[in-house]
Every structure is written in C-alpha cells, then in structure tokens.
Amino acid sequence: MTAATDGVQYTPGGLDRDAPFYVAGHRGLVGSAIVRRLEGAGFTNIVGRTSAELDLKNRDDVFAYLAEIRPRYLVLAAAKVGGILANSTYPVDFLSDNLRIQSNVLDAALENEVERVAFLGSSCIYPKFAEQPIREDALLTGALEPTNDAYAIAKIAGILNIQAVRRQYGLPWISAMPTNLYGPNDNFSPRGSHVLPALIRRYAEAVTSGAPSVTNWGTGTPRREFLHADDMADAVLHLLEHYDGPEQVNVGSGSDVTIREVADTIADAVGFDGETEWDTSKPDGTPQKLLDVSKLAAAGWTSKITLEDGLERTVAWYRDHSDAVRV
C-alpha cells in the first residue's frame, strides 16, 4: 500500500478539476446529486460504474477497477439503503452488504493511493434517545434504534475505518453523516423506500386513482429533519475542499418537522384533497432525529434549498419519471 508508506501528507484545498474522481454509487439518490454538483463545478473526469457493471461486494473486482482508473478523489455514496420496513425485515443484508462494500472500496482506495476520500453515512448512527439536536460526540454513547441497528452498525464501522486510516497512514480522509435525504433518483418502492419518497408515491397514486383517503404508518408525531440531495452534494464538495478532521461531520438543514406536517405538505404538492389516516399499530421509529450542524456551519456551509421548494421539485421529478423510477 504505497499511499500508506511513501510519507506524503496531503492537506485539503481546491481540488484538481481534471483529476480522476470516482463516485461510488453514482446512479443513486446521493451519488447522482454529487455527479451533478461536480459537473457544475467544472470537474471533467468523473468516473463510475453501475451495480450491474461492478459489484462492489466483490473484493477482487473492486481492487481491479480502482487499479485501472487510479482516482485521485473518491466519494463513497454506494450503500444498501431502505426504510423502516426494509431494515426491519432484512437486517443481515443491510449489515453484510454494507460492511463488504465499505471494506472493499476503502481498502482498494488505500491500495491505489487515493488522496481524498469522503465516506457518507447516516444519522441513524446515533443513539435512539440522543440529546437533541444531536452532536457528533453523541456517537457510541447509547443504544441504537432497533429497527435499523444493523445498518447503523455498518455505517459506524465505516466511520471507524476512516479514522483508522487517518491514524495509521495520515491521509486526510473524512466522513459526513447526512440527515434524511430526498430528491431525484430516490427509491420510491413501497417496500424499500424511506418515508418521504414513500409518501410522495402514496399521495400521487391516490390522486391518479381518485382514492378518498391515504393511510400512513404510525402516529405522525415523530419529528424528522430533511435535506435535498443537491444540498448534500454541495456540502460534500465543500467539506472535501475545506475540512480535515477525524470526527464525522453532520450534514443537515438544522430544522425539523413532524411526519404529519411533511405528509400534509406532500399532499398539497401533489394536489391530494382527501383524508389522511394513521395506522397507529405500525412503528414510529425514533421520536426525534435532528442534527446539530454547528460544525458544518463553522466550516462555512449551510443548506440553501427549503423543504417546500425541494418537495415541489421532487414531486415534479417523480411525475416526469414515474414510468422509470425504482419501484
């Protein structure tokens, strides 16, 4: 692993717009937003492979691919993701798949001398009953939310992988922990999606079918923070150019709403004027999950896309792509 032993110490700063930049997961919600942001910032050599072209769970193939493209920068946005139902039903898949993806990509990045890496995790890494808003130092201070603990453990392992590389090899790799994300190229599957895309599909289909009511899970009282994927992508590029530290950085809007409030906003955005009912026999999940984003603000970045504007844009995208979205 020459990057580990050649004694070179990299420091953050403006990235070379012509250097190879690998975005793992470039077709997903976050990865595609990062590609759009990099293109808008003038990067000319963005590379990636679809899951059909490169299985990131296959270690030999991942090492061979990075040896071929030799990226200077890398964002690890690839992951097996899903909502409460998917995480509760398939915990083995969420743990095993994500551990393998992370280990393979990060080990191959080290072997192939990748200068700057950003590992993207999730706010579910924090304890279920962490003090709100959740600071970065809340990590590993309490029990996790049981409905997604397997996924959370995998993401915590990724953070520790980044910190271990920094300690052992001195490379300025970083981790960013986004809040609940949404936007173009999200997963709108009834069984695999997160709450916001699931709500968009549910209300949009109710409008199309003329259904008089929509039923959502839980009580609608939990509070959640949402961030548009384009904001997340902008934050990731900013951190790569301005932040160098071992602690993960929270990425969010700094404000939250109840699930009931966001459901009402989506209903208005899609033009649904029926009744909304709540199935209280279904789980709510964590009662509140709001990130403390003061570290990110201190690094010079704050969110720009309001929830109302972001939802209108996402609903419009969903309607334009409803025949091709992941279902």
Residue 174: CATH number of its domain:
3.40.50.720
Mean pLDDT along residues 174-191: 90
φ, ψ of residue 177 in degrees (nearest 5): -115, 100
The reply to whether 210 sits in an annotated binding site is no
The reply to whether 121 sits in an annotated binding site is yes
Q: How confident is the model at residue 84 (pLDDT cuts 50, 70, 90)?
A: confident
The reply to whether 265 sits in an annotated binding site is no
Mean pLDDT along residues 294-310: 96
Alpha helices in 18-123 (DSSP H): 29-40, 59-69, 84-89, 91-111
In a domain, 197, yes or no: no
293, 294, 296, 300: CA torsion to nearest 10 = 130
Mean pLDDT along residues 72-93: 91
**For the chain, percent of residues with pLDDT exceeding 70:** 94
Structural contact between residues 100 and 161, judged by C-beta atoms closer than 8 angstroms: no
Q: Does the pLDDT of residue 3 top 70, yes or no?
A: no
The reply to whether 42 sits in an annotated binding site is no
In a domain, 100, yes or no: yes
In a domain, 40, yes or no: yes
- Say what the pLDDT of residue 326 is: 55
Structural contact between residues 227 and 270, judged by C-beta atoms closer than 8 angstroms: no
> Which residue is catalytic, options 22, 73, 126, 151?
151
Mean pLDDT along residues 215-234: 96
In a domain, 317, yes or no: no
Mean pLDDT along residues 223-247: 97
Structural domain total, the chain: 1
The reply to whether 179 sits in an annotated binding site is yes
Q: Say whether 182 is catalytic.
A: no
Residues 6+ apart with CB under 8 A from 134: 123, 126, 250, 289, 290, 291, 292
Structural domain for 180, as ranges: 2-185+227-253+290-304
In a domain, 127, yes or no: yes
Residue range 99-132, pLDDT digits in tens: 999 999 999 999 999 999 999 999 999 999 999 9
In a domain, 144, yes or no: yes
Which token pair is 226? 């949402």
